[in-house]
Structure 1
Amino acid sequence: MENRTDVRAPLPLSQQWTLINAFGQRDLKAKFNGTLLGWVWSLVVPLATLGIYTLIFGGLFKMKIPGGASRYEGIQFVAVWLFAGLTLWGYFLSSVNGGISGLLGSGSLLQKVYFPAYAPVLGAGLAVGVQSLIEVGLLLTVFAFLGIFGWTWILIPFLFCLLVVFVQSVAVVLAIWNIHVRDLAQLVGVILQLMFFATPIIYSVTLVPAEKWGIPLQKIIGHMPMAEFIELFRSVAFYCAPGHWKSWVACAAWAGIAFLAAKLVYRKWGADLGERI
């Protein structure tokens, strides 16, 4: 094990990107290798989920777009409003789960040669990000077809940069902790299920009671990390409004906190995981 004396030596950025890209390409090839439809499968599940929620909330319960004017009436607007939230949540969910399994799946390789523990995690996030970009492209195309288009769309890349930093940082933290506490993956799965319904994805935060049992539920739920990102994305992309400056500050703050947490966790627990996996 003498070849591990320099495990904390940082790699040049170009080598880090090459390594992350290699893991991402591996995950993409593994996911669609041998399938008949290939990349089409990256849209089947989210579109099927969208169809189910649209029929239930838009068709059965006659859901109205929160804060929407008469121009947003119709099941087609309910569908794209839901899709906007489901797309971001799907990226978060798949990145976290993919990061945890990606690091575990690289254990045999990590035991033979050193590479940063975050490389397979970010590689898994890169693979998920490619699929999510396809979904976002489809979503924006449908938006434009429905006449939803505005100058605020130029803000979407900036929002997604903050989202990527936040999501991938969370994935790194959980993936490294999972190596030390193997029960964490199961616990994260349960928490993510609860978070899906606690986050205003398929409903508006205005439906949440302002206060319950002395707890400001609406404020707590509305300021959850993914709630902030989803609400701001809907504002910029769907409502064609720049969003409140406090929302941008909140998203930037969550991204910054998550990034600092990832650096701290990696330095303290993720420098050399080869013998733990």
Structure 2
Amino acid sequence: MPEQVVPPKGEAEQVKAVSTHHIRFSPANRARSPIAAVRELVDYAPFIGYLTRRQLRTTYNRSYLGWIWALLNPIIVLAIYSLVFGVILLVDRANLGNSPTGLDSFPHFLFSGLVFWGLFNQVSLGIMTDFQNSVLLRKKLYFPAAAPAIAMAASIVVESLLEVAVLIAFYVAVGNVGLPILLLPFVMFIAVTFGVGVGLLLAVPNVRYRDVGYLYALFLRLFFYLTPIIWPFAMITNRIGNVWVQRAAEWNPMAKMVHVARTITYDIAWPDPTDVVYLLVVSLGVFALGFTVFNRQAADATEGL
């Protein structure tokens, strides 16, 4: 039996959970087949659950308002963007949507995109950061490399449920709600699956070269404005002359996701089945690719430090 390594101060609580669930130590830490890796994650479900609860407990630790911030943050961000783009810069409101109730509200239009963009953003960045922080611990004891990433994504989903609840309340308050809103969990699934896939793809390169994380954060800022979040999806065909650029913009997965979210909430309509299938294929494909690449590279990243 390998000698147990005493963990650094501050990690004792996590190690206690690890030892409780029969974690093996790092000499066996080698890349496995994706199917074996998935089975291992299932075996470590109690450990992943522990990490998720721990993350949720510490999210707003030492904060007077605590989880109230989970409600205040999206509202404050919405107010800022609504002021800047809806009042100061006067975003074109002619093509906001086709609400059957006659709703003409830039804040509602904006919020429908912000919530799910934020979910993707937090999940992808969170996974990269969490894997980076867990690498040194995995040099001392064994647990699945993807376990902290799954736990991080799960905790972000729980927090985002509050934001989605606020979004629904915003639409209920103005009487702009219908059965299509039941598809919001599908949009959350797309955002999380796509975010996990991208995060896993970049997690190992980010450990080796920290520039990856900085460049990705900058890319997300640019990508935010290239995605129809603060501007209508219809502007793609109205303002872009080159047909190839139009097609690329229209089939941007994040643009499709935001468009589907707005169709469900703002337009109170069922999304185009083609968009639904496309989002499922792309998000699951990116997730499968990210998980496979991560599973092959994670062990080498741990041993290389």
TM-score, normalised via structure 1 length:
0.88
Contact 1:63 1:78 in 2 (8 A): no
1:230 paired residue number: 258
Deviation at 1:214, TM superposition (A): 4.3
SS of aligned partner of 2:59: helix
Contact 2:41 2:144 in 1 (8 A): no
Instruction: Write the deviation string for residues 19-56 of structure 1: whole angstroms up to 9, x where unpaired.
Output: 32222223223321111000111233321110012123
Determine which structure has more spread, i.e. the larger CA radius of gyration: 2
Q: Go from structure 1 to structure 2 and tell me whether the alpha carbon gap of 1:169 and 1:248 turns closer, same or farther (over 3 Å shift).
A: same
| 1:30 equivalent in alignment to 2:53 | no
| 1:196 equivalent in alignment to 2:224 | yes
Q: Go from structure 1 to structure 2 and tell me whether the alpha carbon gap of 1:264 and 1:13 turns closer, same or farther (over 3 Å shift).
A: closer
Distance 1:213 1:66 in 2: 20
2:28 paired residue number: 5
Deviation at 1:116, TM superposition (A): 1.8
Q: Go from structure 1 to structure 2 and tell me whether the alpha carbon gap of 1:57 and 1:3 turns closer, same or farther (over 3 Å shift).
A: closer
Deviates more, 1:46-55 or 1:7-16: 7-16
Q: CA RMSD of the aligned region, Å?
A: 2.4
Q: Go from structure 1 to structure 2 and tell me whether the alpha carbon gap of 1:63 and 1:192 turns closer, same or farther (over 3 Å shift).
A: same
1:155 paired residue number: 183
Contact 2:203 2:294 in 1 (8 A): no
**Match for 2:233: what amino acid?**
V
1:87 paired residue number: 115
Deviation at 1:146, TM superposition (A): 1.1
1:111 paired residue number: 139
2:21 paired residue number: none
Deviation at 1:104, TM superposition (A): 1.1
2:278 paired residue number: 250
Distance 2:113 2:242 in 1: 29
Deviates more, 1:160-169 or 1:251-260: 160-169
Deviates more, 1:161-170 or 1:235-244: 161-170
Superposed, which structure 2 residues align to 1:39-188 within 5 Å? Answer: 39-60=67-88, 61=90, 63-64=92-93, 66-68=96-98, 71-74=101-104, 77-188=105-216
Q: Go from structure 1 to structure 2 and tell me whether the alpha carbon gap of 1:13 and 1:185 turns closer, same or farther (over 3 Å shift).
A: closer
Distance 1:213 1:145 in 2: 39
**Match for 1:187: what amino acid?**
L
| 1:275 equivalent in alignment to 2:298 | no
Distance 1:243 1:26 in 2: 37
Distance 1:267 1:81 in 2: 39
Task: List gaps (5 residues or longer) in structure 2.
Answer: 3-24
Task: List gaps (5 residues or longer) in structure 1.
Answer: none
Q: Go from structure 1 to structure 2 and tell me whether the alpha carbon gap of 1:147 and 1:73 turns closer, same or farther (over 3 Å shift).
A: closer
Distance 1:159 1:53 in 2: 22
Contact 1:211 1:218 in 2 (8 A): no
Aligned length: 275
Deviation at 1:209, TM superposition (A): 5.4
SS of aligned partner of 1:241: coil
Deviation at 1:6, TM superposition (A): 5.6
Deviation at 1:244, TM superposition (A): 0.8
Deviates more, 1:216-225 or 1:250-259: 216-225
Deviation at 1:197, TM superposition (A): 0.5
SS of aligned partner of 2:44: helix
TM-score, normalised via structure 2 length:
0.81
Q: Go from structure 1 to structure 2 and tell me whether the alpha carbon gap of 1:193 and 1:211 turns closer, same or farther (over 3 Å shift).
A: same
